[in-house]
């Protein structure tokens, strides 16, 4: 039906002297009815990919299949795709109804009498039926955004393409619309490609997410898979907020060594890093356990020493505390090394003050190891449900 | 009342004083013209003073109107189609050169822009030769002039219309191009995805959004064409087909007296249509200029 397939798609922009590769050899399949989120930093080629799917950009190499036809040279209007733009791109001189009529009038042979109930029905579904006679300049941002969605939905296309549709909304509205959009897509069952730079949107909305960097696909996976079993260092750092802590370390015997600390490895982990000498050590902020060593006297106490003597625990100093309500984000540095900072999140009820000394415990089961040169994951944290499955790349 | 308020009152007074003086300065020539046109003997009193009861006459206006009536009609026949055509063509050209993307549009745009800088005087001889020798419309379309209401001199007017349209296209294109560059690219892309062809996009989206810029170009072009004397003299010349500027230039010329009164009345009559056009499109004009 409407499976969307990208087959070694490349886009190069001609910049006079040399070509700029915006999208490099991108292959992936988006299943019928799937909600796929394309995510990456700005300039990673995600919007270009979407525009190629829409037919607004030509394809330099490769093929795009929609269902069983190749749509490389099919004009935008004949592709049966609808797009929602970041700026909404409503027609300012037309009423909401006329905006929604436009696509049906231009792309179908439906009569006005047939179009009318379709538009009314879609508007009711989106809760904008009261606004049908207004023009866009009389609507709020959220309402305009709904009209833009309605304009796409009413055409009942094979594929929805959405280019950062929520990024012009304020935070509260954005999270509401996120949920609503997801529900809507579930009800309609239309294949959707959604572009965003916001990893929260990617995590919460997508059936699967595709992470792009520099025009190269990094990983296509379910949000949890990408979070827990990132294919490489880039994905690990991009997905998750606050992002993963990284340390560049050297493998020495059965230990990982950096200037600030040494991290012993058990046998199983040691085997994983057998082929590499430089690794990037990664640990998520919520995986770090902080034990308080509050009073100065505690420094000398037996209990404190016992904790630090655990080889995966380290003495650190609290630099900054950012209360988020439900949790606190703690910026820490190793004692005696101000430049090596990292972030941990703890329960919002616990109070820490800057300057305080705490013990950070980094459990071995929680760490990620990446090849220091290629950035590819050599070991991901152990999780019961996903331990057996290999991360798909 | 505080000192500050008093000071600002003083400043206000000064401001209005200057403004009133400026209004007087700019309106004085018009006032003098009007008064002169209403006097039996323009030189009897100081030019800015109104005529006395016994010196008042509308005879100069009647005279001027009867001499200019034919020219006024010709000018309307000339200026209305020339203005509308050059605005429409400028708008479509700007759409094709700005909103649509295609190879080689830059050199063509440069040619359009270059047209703005060719002075009227530089093309007078080629232009008159072109219409008189290579494309004499009054002869070529002889059968057409046989139709009721049409005269051979309409061929000259047609030539003048085409000349003005051609001459107006560069500037109108530039004006519309500036306007269209501010249009959202995403909006045009949305229309393309909605299934509209470039012509439909122009018709349903670009054109309705161009109204303020049409007001600007209509006013500008109408004034330009209406006030033109040079092309009118060269392409049409004095005679039945002459636009109003030609008889206006000959008005009141006689050996016995300098016809101040009739000249002033004629100038007012000839200027009236441009003022009417400005009032008609003034509101949209302001919007178009503001963007």
Q: Is B111 exposed, middle or buried (0-12, 13-18, 19+ CB in 10 A)?
A: exposed
Q: How many other β-carbons are positioned within 10 Å of the β-carbon of residue A312? A: 15
Neighbours of A234 (CB within 10 A): 21
In angstroms, rounded to a whole number, what is the distance separating the alpha carbons of residues A384 and A367? 15
| ipTM of predicted complex | 0.82
Does the structure show a pLDDT above 70 at A305?
no
Instruction: Return the structure tokens found at B263.
Output: 């000249």
The pLDDT value recorded for residue A390 is: 43
User: Is the separation of the CB atoms in A379 and A369 below 8 Å?
Assistant: yes
Asked if A205 and A219 count as a contact pair (C-beta separation under 8 A), the reply is: no
Q: Please give the residue that has the higher pLDDT: either A294 or B265.
A: B265
pLDDT exceeds cutoff 80 at A270: yes
Contact in structure between A127 and A177 (CB atoms under 8 Å): no
Q: In chain B, which residue's Cα lies nearest the Cα of A93?
A: B209
Q: Do A91 and B205 touch (CB under 8 A)?
A: yes
What residue has token string 């935070």? A171
pLDDT band at A159 (very low <50, low <70, confident <90, very high): very high
Cβ distance A89 to B187 less than 8 Å, yes or no, reads yes
**The dihedral formed by the CA atoms of B112, B114, B116 and B117, expressed in degrees to the nearest 10:** -170
B208 with A107: Cβ contact below 8 A: no
B193/A82 CB distance under 8 A = yes
Q: How many Cβ contacts (< 8 angstroms) between chains A and B?
A: 61
Q: What was the pLDDT predicted at B269?
A: 94
Q: What is the pTM of this model?
A: 0.82
- Identify the DSSP state of A172: H
Q: What is the CATH code for B59-290? A: 1.10.3720.10
DSSP 8-class letter at B255: S
Is the minimum CB–CB distance between B197 and chain A shorter than 8 Å? Answer: yes
pLDDT of residue A384: 53
Residue A277, pLDDT score: 86
**Which tens digit of pLDDT belongs to each residue from B113-145?**
999 998 888 889 999 899 888 888 877 887 877
- The residue-averaged pLDDT of A167-196 equals 90
Which one of A389-393, B15-19, B192-196 scores highest in mean pLDDT? B15-19
Q: What is d(CA A41, CA A197) in angstroms, rounded to the nearest whole number?
A: 6
Tell me what pLDDT residue A308 has: 56
Confidence at residue A155, expressed as pLDDT on a 0 to 100 scale: 92
Looking at residue A296, what is its pLDDT?
43
Contact B209 A93 (CB under 8 A): yes
Residues above pLDDT 70, as percent of chain A: 92
Instruction: Give the CA distances from residue A264 to residues A113, A250, A287, in Å, rounded to whole numbers and listed in that order.
Output: 74, 12, 17
In whole angstroms, what is the distance from residue A99 CA to residue A264 CA? 64
pLDDT of B208: 95
CA distance to partner chain A, nearest, from residue B183 (Å) = 10
Query: Does pLDDT of B7 surpass 80?
Result: no
User: Can you give the residue ranges of every domain in chain B?
Assistant: 1-57, 59-290
Cβ-Cβ contacts under 8 Å, A82 against chain B = 193
How far apart CA A301 and CA B136 sit, in angstroms, is 112
> Is the bond into A242 cis (omega within 30 degrees of 0)?
yes
Asked if residue B1 has pLDDT above 50, the reply is: yes
Reading across the β-sheet that carries A35-39, which strands appear in turn? Answer: A81-84, A159-163, A191-196, A35-39, A208-213, A216-221
Q: Does residue B206 carry a pLDDT above 90?
A: yes
pLDDT of residue A77: 86
What integer pLDDT is reported at residue A293 of this predicted model? 58
Q: Which residue of A has its CA nearest to B210?
A: A93
Spell out the residues 6+ positions from residue A52 whose beta carbon is closer than 8 angstroms to its own: A9, A11, A23, A58, A59, A64
Average pLDDT over residues A237-262: 88
The residues, ordered by sequence, that sit 6+ positions from B86 with a Cβ below 8 Å of its Cβ are B164, B165, B168, B169, B172, B217, B221
**Of the candidates B193, B196, B200, which has its C-beta nearest A54's C-beta?**
B193
Q: pLDDT tens digits, residue range A338-383?
A: 677 899 998 888 888 888 888 888 988 899 999 988 989 988 887 6
d(CA A7, CA A10) in angstroms, rounded, equals 9
Q: Is the pLDDT of residue B209 over 60?
A: yes
Interface contact A89, partner B, CB < 8 A: yes
pLDDT band at A392; cut points 50, 70, 90? very low
Adjacent-strand bridge partners of A21: A12
B195 CB near a chain A CB, below 8 Å?
yes
pLDDT-based confidence at A299, cuts 50/70/90?
very low
Query: Is residue A146 over pLDDT 70?
Result: yes
B196, A77: Cβ pair inside 8 Å? yes
Residue B49 has pLDDT above 90, yes or no: no
| pLDDT (mean) for B83-95 | 95
* Spatial CB neighbours of B120, under 8 Å, sequence gap ≥ 6: B167, B230, B231
Look at residue A341 in the predicted model and tell me its pLDDT: 84
Average pLDDT, rounded, for chain B: 89
């Amino acid at each position: 039906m409407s499976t969307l397939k990208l087959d070694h798609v490349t886009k190069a922009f001609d910049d006079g002297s040399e070509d700029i590769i915006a999208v490099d050899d991108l292959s992936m399949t988006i299943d019928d009815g799937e909600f796929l989120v394309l995510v990456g930093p700005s300039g990673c080629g995600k919007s270009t990919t979407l525009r190629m799917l829409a037919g607004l950009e030509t394809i330099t190499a490769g093929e795009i299949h929609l269902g069983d036809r190749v749509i490389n040279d099919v004009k935008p209007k004949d592709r049966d795709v609808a797009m929602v733009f970041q700026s909404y791109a409503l027609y300012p001189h037309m009423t909401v109804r006329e905006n929604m009529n436009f696509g049906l009038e231009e792309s179908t042979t439906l009569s006005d009498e047939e179009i009318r109930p379709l538009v009314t029905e879609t508007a009711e579904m989106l809760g904008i039926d009261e606004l049908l006679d207004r023009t866009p300049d009389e609507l709020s941002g959220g309402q305009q955004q709904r009209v833009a969605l309605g304009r796409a939905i009413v055409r009942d296309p094979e594929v929805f393409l959405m280019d950062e549709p929520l990024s012009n909304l304020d935070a509260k509205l954005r999270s509401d619309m996120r949920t609503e959009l997801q529900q809507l897509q579930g009800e309609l069952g239309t294949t959707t490609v959604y572009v965003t730079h916001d990893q929260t949107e990617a995590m919460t909305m997508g059936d699967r997410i595709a992470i792009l960097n520099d025009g190269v696909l990094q990983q296509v996976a379910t949000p949890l898979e990408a979070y827990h079993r990132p294919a490489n260092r880039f994905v690990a750092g991009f997905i998750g907020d606050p992002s993963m802590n990284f340390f560049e370390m050297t493998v020495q015997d059965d230990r990982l060594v950096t200037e600030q600390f040494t991290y012993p490895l058990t046998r199983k982990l040691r085997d994983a890093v057998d082929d590499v000498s430089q690794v990037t050590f990664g640990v998520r902020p919520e995986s770090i356990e902080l034990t308080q060593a509050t009073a100065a006297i505690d420094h000398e106490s037996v209990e404190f020493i016992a904790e630090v003597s655990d080889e995966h625990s380290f003495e650190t100093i609290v630099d900054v505390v950012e209360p988020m309500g439900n949790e606190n984000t703690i910026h820490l540095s190793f004692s005696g090394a101000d430049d090596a900072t990292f972030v941990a999140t703890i329960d919002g009820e616990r109070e820490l003050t800057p300057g305080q000394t705490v013990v950070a415990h980094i459990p071995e089961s929680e760490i990620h190891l990446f090849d220091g040169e290629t950035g590819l994951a050599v070991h991901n944290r152990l999780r019961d449900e996903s331990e057996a499955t290999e991360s798909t790349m | 009342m505080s000192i500050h308020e008093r000071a600002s009152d003083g400043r206000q007074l000064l401001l209005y004083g200057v403004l009133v003086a400026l209004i007087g300065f700019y309106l004085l020539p018009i006032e003098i013209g009007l008064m002169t046109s209403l006097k039996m003997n323009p030189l009897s009193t100081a030019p800015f003073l109104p005529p006395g009861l016994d010196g008042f006459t509308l005879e100069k206006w009647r005279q001027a109107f009867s001499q200019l009536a034919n020219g006024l009609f010709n000018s309307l026949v000339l200026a209305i189609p020339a203005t509308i055509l050059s605005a429409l063509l400028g708008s479509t050209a700007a759409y094709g050169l700005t909103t649509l993307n295609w190879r080689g549009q830059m050199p063509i745009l440069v040619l359009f822009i270059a047209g703005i800088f060719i002075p009227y005087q530089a093309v007078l001889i080629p232009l008159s030769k072109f219409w008189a020798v290579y494309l004499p419309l009054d002869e070529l379309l002889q059968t057409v002039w046989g139709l009721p209401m049409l005269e051979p001199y309409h061929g000259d007017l047609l030539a003048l219309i085409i000349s003005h349209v051609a001459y107006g296209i560069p500037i109108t294109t530039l004006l519309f191009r500036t306007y269209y560059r501010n249009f959202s690219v995403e909006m045009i892309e949305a229309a393309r995805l909605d299934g509209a062809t470039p012509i439909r996009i122009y018709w349903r989206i670009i054109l309705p959004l161009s109204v303020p810029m049409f007001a600007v170009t209509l006013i500008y072009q109408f004034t330009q064409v209406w006030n033109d004397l040079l092309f009118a003299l060269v392409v049409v010349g004095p005679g039945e087909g002459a636009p109003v500027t030609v008889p206006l230039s000959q008005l009141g010329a006689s050996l016995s007296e300098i016809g101040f009164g009739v000249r002033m009345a004629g100038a007012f009559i000839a200027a009236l249509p441009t003022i009417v056009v400005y009032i008609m499109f003034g509101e949209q004009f302001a919007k178009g200029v503001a963007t």
